[in-house]
Amino acid sequence: MTIQVFGLPVARGIAIGKAVLVASSRLDVDHYFIDADQVEAEIGRLREARDLVARELESLKQAMPGDAPPELGALLDVHLMLLHDESLTSATKQWIRDRHYNAEWALSAQLEVLARQFDEMDDDYLRERKADIEQVVERLLRALARGGSSALAAATRKPIQQDWGGEEPLVLIANDIAPADMLQFKQSVFKGFVTDVGGKTSHTAIVARSMDIPAVVGAREASRLIRQDDWVIIDGDAGVVIVDPSPIVLEEYRFRQRQSELERERLARLRHTPSVTLDGEAVELLANIELPQDAPAALRAGAAGVGLFRSEFLFMNRDGELPGEDEQFEAYRAAVQAMDGLPVTIRTVDIGADKPLDRMSLSELRHEHTLNPALGLRAIRWSLSEPAMFRMQLRAILRASAYGKVRLLIPMLAHASEIRQTFEALARAKQQLRDAGTPFADVEVGAMIEVPAAALTIPLFVRHFDFVSLGTNDLIQYTLAIDRADESVSYLYDPWHPAVLRLIHDTIRAARQAGKGVSVCGEMAGDPSFTPLLLAMGLRSFSMHPSQIAAVKQRILRSDTAKLAQMLDAALACDDPQECYRPFMGEAAQLH
C-alpha cells in the first residue's frame, strides 16, 4: 500500500531507490561496506562475537546463586536461544553476503526487521519479547567491539562509494545522521536520504546539500513506517517521501528526475560565464567546502575561490582524538594547492551545538550535558578555552599560507575581549613559527558575524578585521531564539523576518562604508530566491556549496542592481516577513 510521509525539503531533486535503514539512535554502530573478499572474514567476526556472548551467558547461568529467582535462569535461556536463532544469525550473514555490510550494520539492519515483526504480533507476551532480542543484539555489538573489530575495520573500511556492486539504487533512511557520519556518505551509492529529525539549516542538512543529493529531514515517523528494501521516492523539492509507489506515480517521478538532470546540465554551461549583473556589477561567487578533496568540485563549478573551509570536519570521525599540527597543515595545504592560486578562506574549528566531537573530548567532556549546546562552549569559545589546540591550528593555517592565498576566519565572535584574545593567540603562533624558521605569508583575518551582538556592534569588528562574513544560519537562529536543528519550531525559522533583514543590511552597509570586504556564507547565499535581496543590499560576494553556484549565477546574470536597490527601502520598512518578501516577488517571477 502506498503511503506518503511529509518532512522538510533540504536538498532539491528526485531520488528513487530501495530503502536502507540504519540503526536507530538507541544503537551506536559504524556503517560501512566491506570488499567482496572480506565477506567470509566479516562473517567470522560475527561468529566469534556470537560464541563470546554464548560463553558469557553460560558463565552467568553457572554463577547464579542458589536462591536466585528461577525467572532469571529462564531469561538467560531465552537469550541463548535467540542468540542461535536462524532468524537472527542466518539473516545477518545474508546482509553481509548480499549487501557487503559490515557485521555491526548487518546486525542493526536485521534487528530493525525483527523489531517490526514483534511490534505486529497480537500476543502481548510475544510482543514484549522485542526487548530480549534488542538486549541480545546489544551484547553482540559489544562483543564485536571487544573482539578486535577496529583493526579489521581499519584494514577493510572504505567510504560507501559508487563501486558498490548492487544493481538497485539505494536511499538512506535514519532517525538522524550526525554531520560527522554524513561525511561517510559523500560520493556514496545512496541516491538520497530521509531522517526523522532535523531542520532546514541543521548542519546535517547543510552537509546533505554538499552531497548534492535529494534529502528530506524532520519526517518524524519515516524510519518506523519504512521497511528495509521498500521502494521509496524522495521528493526533495516538496519535502515528500512516497513509500511503495504505484507504477503510474513511479513513472511520473522518473520523468521529473530526467527533467531535473537536464536542467542541471543546462545550468552547468554557465561555468565559464563571468558573474556580472545586467548593469555591469561584478559579483564574486565562492565555494563552501568541508574537506580538501571538495576543492576540485569548487573549481569545476567555476568558483572564484573558497569562501568557507569548515575545518571542524577534520576533527570528526576520530574517536575524540584531535588532528595534530602536521596533519592539519597537510590538509590545508592540499586545499590551497588544489585551488591553484585562488583564495581559500579557512575558518577555525567550529565545534559544539550540533557538531560535537566524537565521544567528546578535552573541555567538551565537561560540558557534554549542557542544557543548551547552541549557547554553550562552542566555536571561538571552545578554541580560547583550549589555547594550545588553538595555537596549533593557527600555526597549521599560517604554514599553509606559504603555498597560496589564505584568509583566516574566526567564528562566533561577540565580545571585544574575544577579539583581543584571538589576535594575541595569532601573534604568538606567528612568533613561534618565526622562532622555528618556518615560512608563512601575511593572511587577512576576518570575523564571522553570526551573533546579533556582533551585528549590532559591527563598527568594532570592521576596525579590527580585514573582512567580515555573515553566517546567516546562526544569525537567524540566535536572532529569533530558534534551535535550527529542531523540526518542532522549524516553521518559525524565517530568513525574511524584519529583524534578520535589518541586521544583515546594517552589517553589509557598515563593512562597505569602512572599505572592508563582506560576504555571506550561510544558506541564504546559495538560495536564488534571496539573491535579488542581497544584491539590493549591496552584497557582491556570495559563498555557497559548489552545486548551488550555477543557479545563483543565473539569477545574477538576469539582475539589475540599480532597480533592485529601489525596492530595498520597502522591504526594510515592513513589519511582517510576507511584506518583506513582496517587493521582490515580481522580480523573482520575472527572473524565473
Annotated catalytic residues are 203, 521
484 marked as part of a ligand binding site: yes
Rounded Cα–Cα distance for residues 207 and 161 (Å) = 17
* Sheet with 3-6: strands ordered across: 3-6, 240-243, 231-235, 14-21, 170-174, 190-195, 215-217, 8-11
Is the separation of the CB atoms in 520 and 469 below 8 Å? Answer: yes
Q: Would the annotation count 473 as a binding residue?
A: yes
- DSSP 3-state assignment of 294? helix
For residues 11 and 213, is the Cβ–Cβ distance under 8 A? Answer: yes
According to DSSP, the residues that pair with 19 across neighbouring strands are 171
What single-letter DSSP state applies at residue 404?
A: S
> Closest Cα to residue 588, out of 537, 548, 531?
531
Q: Are 48 and 248 in contact (CB under 8 A)?
A: no
* AA identity, residue 127: R
Question: Is 127 annotated as belonging to a binding site?
Answer: no
Q: Grid coordinates 552537509 are at which residue?
A: 207
Q: Which of 292, 324, 295 is nearest to 311 (CA)?
A: 292
Q: How many whole angstroms separate alpha carbon 133 and alpha carbon 128?
A: 10
Which amino acid does the sequence have at 346?
I
- HEC letters along 45-85: HHHHHHHHHHHHHHHHHHCCCCCCCHHHHHHHHHHHHHHHC
Query: What DSSP state is assigned to residue 36?
Result: G
CA of residue 87 relative to chain centroid, distance: 35
Does 347 appear as a known binding residue?
yes
Q: For residue 8, give the 3-state DSSP assignment.
A: strand
| Residue 319 marked ligand-binding | no
Angle at the Cα of 383 (from 333 to 437), degrees rounded to 5?
45
Cβ atoms of 548 and 301 closer than 8 Å: no
Does the annotation list 474 as a binding residue? yes
Task: List, as residue ranges, the binding site.
Answer: 310, 347, 450, 473-474, 484
Instruction: Indicate the annotated binding residues for Mg(2+).
Output: 450, 474
Binding residues for phosphoenolpyruvate: 310, 347, 473-474, 484
